[in-house]
Amino acid sequence: MAEEIKHDRPTLKEAISKKVFAVTCEIGPPKGTDTNEIFEIGEMLKNLVHGINVTDLQSSVMRLGSMVTCHFLKDMGHDPVFQVTCRDRNRLALQSDLLSAYALGVRNVLSLTGDHTTVGDHPQAKPVYDLDSVSLLYTISKLEEGFDLVGNELKGKPAFFKGAVVNPGADTESSLNLQIIKMQKKIDAGAEFFQTQAVFDENVVEKFMEKIGKLGIKTPVMAGVILLKSEKMANYMNKNVPGIFVPKKIIDKMAGTSDKVSMCLEILTDLITRIKPFCAGVHIQALGWEKHVPALIKNLGI
């Protein structure tokens, strides 16, 4: 069992449990064995975030594994979030990887079904999807009880902080209701926190939290945000990414400046300040702009 490392900041679970506004960000492992960027970003974010998500072959693109990247970050004193997709592994491999990650000291898991292989760089690869995000959460809960999926007893059991994803910006009322139905299924299966797909409008977050609150859903929700690099990026997401909508006023701000970084940080500082009263934290997706995350956090005073 890996030795527990003391952190200068609360872990993600501690922050959420104590109702501290939690901050997580995201690292995509490299496509290759050069791990320098992982350590550079990890060093840059020391004592600034409560957790770092590590993507699991994001967008079905072959990369270095999430587990080893989580291990590196753990050794640096971070509290990594092990993103696990169901696309590439059957239930045997998923259970084994979860136990392996726990043995390496990883304590947070984010359950994802995963993008289909046809959208990635190996479209000929055969997807697995033996489990989905809901049944994966159930699997993790079974492991925590000390048993595998078929009831065999484990010699030592894990204890994860289990997360899942929800999209508050679903395009229609019916699709939003479906999101909430699935959200409840994930909670029933063991989800203890949620991170949302990226939002650009505080009203989306407020209305979503109000809606689930009326339904008695109290599981903590962290709002996802993206560092917007340009108006072209915003228009692309509006056209091609379901459930994400960048308002015209934000696009106009990005189009009207040559200093994209400063404007991006101004937009996000304002957005996060507005959504802060409604959610348990924020999940920052930097998409290559990780070096600007410290400035954003400083602007927010969190």
Alpha helix positions (H), the chain: 12-17, 36-44, 66-75, 91-103, 133-145, 173-189, 202-214, 231-240, 248-255, 260-275, 293-300
- Given a contact cutoff of 8 angstroms between Cβ atoms, the answer to whether 200 and 271 are in contact is yes
> How long, in residues, is the chain?
302
Fold classification of 12-229+276-291 (topology level): TIM Barrel (3.20.20)
pLDDT of residue 171: 77
pLDDT of residue 2: 45
- How far apart, in Å, are the Cα atoms of 172 and each of 135, 177, 208, 210, 268? 26, 9, 13, 17, 25
Checking phi first, is residue 216 left (phi over 0); if not, alpha (psi -120 to 50) or beta? Answer: left
What tokens appear for 62 in the block? 């072959």
The residue extents of the domains of the chain are 12-229+276-291
What is Dmax (Cα atoms) for the chain?
A: 61
From first to last of its 302 residues, what are the pLDDT tens digits of the chain?
444 445 568 999 999 999 999 999 999 999 999 999 999 999 999 999 999 999 999 999 999 999 999 999 999 999 999 999 999 999 999 999 999 999 999 999 999 999 999 999 999 999 999 999 999 999 999 999 999 999 999 999 999 999 999 999 887 889 999 999 999 999 999 999 999 999 999 999 999 999 999 999 999 999 999 999 999 999 999 998 877 889 999 999 999 999 999 999 999 999 999 999 999 999 999 988 999 999 999 999 87
How far, in Å, CA of 191 to CA of 50, rounded? 18
pLDDT of residue 8: 66
Q: Which pTM value belongs to this model?
A: 0.93
| Residue 99: half-sphere exposure toward Cβ, Cα within 13 Å | 18
How far, in Å, CA of 242 to CA of 197, rounded? 10
